[in-house]
Structure 1
Amino acid sequence: MLASVAIVPLNHMLRGESWARKRLQPCAGKTARFRVPPFFDLAVIIQPTGEVAAASTVAGNDAILTIMPALLPRLLVRDEAAYREIRISGDSVFGQEILEIGQNLRWDVEQDLSDVMGDILAHRVVRAGENLAHWHNETLNNLSRALTEYLTEEQPVLAKPTDMRTFANEVSGLQDQVSRLELRVEGLINKSL
């Protein structure tokens, strides 16, 4: 059941992106396993058309892509660094090809909605969704800044970055002074001997 829930939308996106299917066609017959421990474990086999199908549980895995759960939000917002943190075992060339396709595969939500509700309404729904996402990000950024300011200014639980730099510079200067003092003491000891 989980396989069909994941594979149907993936194939839908692949059908909308012929370049991705063309890149997958030479990999026909290869199996990739996607793991998000402990939540998700899905094996797919590449079809000659460039689409994917559920692989049997006994099939070998050409590539295993392990995604830690903490990476999922970053992958959803297409954080480039998150893709580099996905572990690939087995056929690394095949696994890297899948990652590159995944990075560039896009779902044309507006096109799918326009088939159901018309072009104008679909366009407005997508724009409203984008505006909502933008508002959400701005709200989180503002809340983060306000919380940081509160914890550094109002209730000083955290140190201010400028105070930390000053402290680090003072520690470094103190280390230099101690080193010079050690050299002087050694020089005085050597003179008295």
Structure 2
Amino acid sequence: MPFESLVTATIESTLNLLVNDDPELVRRLARLKGRTIQVHLRELNKTLTFMFSQSIDVLAGYEGEPDCFLSLNLAILPQLGEQSNITKLIKEDKLTLEGDIQLAQKFSQLMADCKPDIEEWLSRVMGDILAHQLVQSAVGLGRLAKAQTQKHNDHLAQVITEEWKLAPAPLEIVHFCDQVDDVASRAARVEVKLNKLMDSV
């Protein structure tokens, strides 16, 4: 199987798995039935075509005319849910849109909401209680890692400013700025006096 076909097959099966896992997404997919949207990913210079029926088909090559064509960077896709964002992105040249703007919005919202419920998937394999405990432990570990990183960064900043004296401390910067303002103020007063002297001569 060529690499491009492997990528589209992976995207297709993942999207269909996520949609079928959520009854609300299944209803939204039904409203897109018979529509086609083409997305050109600028950073990859690749175009993918999404065809909607009872499922989502993803094609790397498509000869027909899509209902909507988008050219964008992948990071922009979640912003298409709001019409005001679409106008802004087009003006900023971050988005090219041809065709049905409402289809683009519905597609964006569907893609944004296709998020895996890890706890639900794990519960099918190991039961509700164990899955919940595992997910909560992972969340706790994530928070702990974030707190440790922040603590490490704070310690490093303290070492750089107070022990190694490679950078001034925040209070030293404030004091220096105050001194600069004071000097600037004195210089302005001296300039005014000089100008008065010059005028009187």
Deviates more, 1:143-152 or 1:55-64: 55-64
Q: Give the AA of the match of 2:39.
A: A
Aligned mates of 1:103, 1:169 — CA distance in 2: 49
Given that residues 161 and 167 in structure 2 are in contact (C-alpha distance below 8 angstroms), is that contact kept between their aligned partners in structure 1?
A: yes
Shift of 1:90: 0.9
Shift of 1:20: 4.8
* Distance verdict in 2 for CA 1:25–1:57, change over 3 Å: closer
Q: Give structure 1 stretches of 5+ with no counterpart.
A: 69-74, 76-83
* Distance verdict in 2 for CA 1:121–1:90, change over 3 Å: same
Identity across matched positions, percent: 17
Match of 2:96 in 1: 90
Q: 1:36-82, CA deviations, whole angstroms, 9 ceiling, x for partnerless residues?
A: x46x95624251457452342777882233157xxxxxx9xxxxxxx
Aligned mates of 2:107, 2:167 — CA distance in 1: 42
TM-score w.r.t. the length of structure 2 is 0.67
Match of 1:124 in 2: 133
Q: 1:95-153, CA deviations, whole angstroms, 9 ceiling, x for partnerless residues?
A: 66655555554321111111122222222221222122122111211111111111111
Given that residues 12 and 57 in structure 2 are in contact (C-alpha distance below 8 angstroms), is that contact kept between their aligned partners in structure 1?
A: yes
2:150 pairs, out of 111, 116, 141, with: 141
The answer to whether structure 1 residue 109 and structure 2 residue 115 are counterparts is no
Match of 1:54 in 2: 59
For the aligned residue pairs, the C-alpha RMSD in angstroms reads 3.6
Q: Give structure 2 stretches of 5+ with no counterpart.
A: 1-5, 79-87
Given that residues 29 and 48 in structure 1 are in contact (C-alpha distance below 8 angstroms), is that contact kept between their aligned partners in structure 2?
A: no
TM-score w.r.t. the length of structure 1 is 0.70
SS in 2 for 1:53: strand
Given that residues 3 and 42 in structure 1 are in contact (C-alpha distance below 8 angstroms), is that contact kept between their aligned partners in structure 2?
A: no
Aligned residues: 176
